[in-house]
Amino acid sequence: MLVAFTGCGETAPPAITVGAVSFAEDELLGLSPARRVTLAQLTALALAVADSSTDQLGEPLLEKWENDRLLDIFAAELTLQKNGVDDAVLKAQYLTDPEWELTVRHILFFSERWRDPLHRTAARAKAARAMELLNEGADFAETAMQLSEEPGAEGRQGLLTPGREGFWVPEFWDAALALQPGEISPVTETQYGYHILRLEDREMVPFHEARTVFSRAVANRIEDPRVTLETWLDDNAGETEGTRHSKALTESVRLELKVPAGEITDLARVWDEITYRWSNALGFRYGLGTSEIADAALGALANSSQNATIARNELAEHDAMLRARYEFILASPQG
């Protein structure tokens, strides 16, 4: 949408354009240049939320996070090599504290942490009632089919795809890991609501699949891998930060090091949580049209709540990412 106004017989160009959304100068009277940049940033986020493209918006950030994680793996490998820790030693240690793959069935009562107290209390009460039924001997799968509010739970009877650490939020993973097959957890709260879990099965992850995770834990017990990495960079890379970073990533690829899939999933979930929190604090939602996006962005700019202020400040730290997704055109303020 193009918002414009007429003066002196001519159509004035928009004062701010972000993607398909524009603002006329008379909508921005009194806004400083810095506030106009903030409005553009808010508009970019609102656009991504409106068409459900926050995943694409966050791709540069997720790539950076994944590369940072890959450098952590490389630093651990350098540390192990430096201290003569080979795979035979690693495997022997791994067998004393292995990684697990868990098969879980669960019952969920949705009530995200941002919900009001009444909603939270009602969901917690439903979970408590479900727990009473289970304690009285109700079949877990049948109870999940009848009561769980998770989409698709009826057909799957609450059964989840087997997962490893990082696949689920930490509270859920910790509750599942504490169980033996057949055991049922207490009511467990996560950011999504209230869960009751039953562990169906647990299998040890083969060493070659868990090595990347375990090697970092061992390396960190020996010394700080970041120091080892810095020494390697001083000996093998150039002086500029970009060159050093690129050299280390190239060597990581050459060694065929990879970030585990569970960790990549966890990084994506972190980004989802961030954008979800921003959206709620700023009043953005899916399906808004261009004029509604403009109104929502102006409203978010004026919102004086603490959560909105925090969201705006955090969003400003990702200005380059926002501009990479949407073109910002900001005219100089008139007057």
> Residue 263: pLDDT above 50?
yes
Looking at residue 240, the DSSP 8-state letter turns out to be: S
Tens of pLDDT along 159-168?
Answer: 999 999 888 9
Q: What are phi and psi of 41, to 5 degrees?
A: -65, -45
pLDDT at 7: 36
Per-residue confidence (pLDDT) for residue 2, from 0 to 100: 35
Residue labelled with tokens 């080979």: 86
- 177-218 pLDDT tens trace: 999 999 999 999 998 999 999 999 999 999 999 999 999 999
pLDDT of residue 49: 96
Tens digits of per-residue pLDDT, 125-171?
999 999 999 999 999 999 999 999 988 877 899 999 999 988 899 99
Residue 151 confidence (pLDDT): 84
**What's the pLDDT score for residue 167?**
86
Contacts of 66-69 spanning 24+ positions with Cβ under 8 A: 66/259, 66/264, 66/267, 67/245, 67/249, 69/259, 69/263, 69/267
pLDDT band at 332 (very low <50, low <70, confident <90, very high): confident
User: Once rounded to an integer, what is the mean pLDDT over residues 4-15?
Assistant: 57
Say if residue 6's pLDDT is above 60: no
Query: How sure is the predictor about 9, in pLDDT bands with cuts at 50, 70 and 90?
Result: very low
pLDDT single digits (tens) 41-73: 999 999 999 999 999 999 999 999 999 999 999
Tens digits of residue pLDDT in 264-306: 988 998 999 899 999 999 999 999 999 999 999 999 999 999 9
- Whole-number pLDDT of residue 334: 62
At 114, is the pLDDT very low, low, confident or very high (cuts 50, 70, 90)? confident
Mind listing the domains of the chain with CATH numbers? 6-52+286-330 (no CATH), 59-96+219-263 (no CATH), 100-204 (3.10.50.40)
Q: What percent of the chain has pLDDT over 90?
A: 81
Contact 158, 140 (CB under 8 A): yes
Residue 90 has pLDDT above 90, yes or no: yes
Helix, strand, or coil (residue 333): coil
Categorize the per-residue pLDDT at 115 as very low, low, confident or very high, splitting at 50, 70 and 90. confident
Distances 206 to 91, 95, 130, 220, 259 between C-alpha atoms, Å: 10, 10, 36, 21, 16
pLDDT at 1: 35
* Averaged confidence pLDDT in the chain: 92
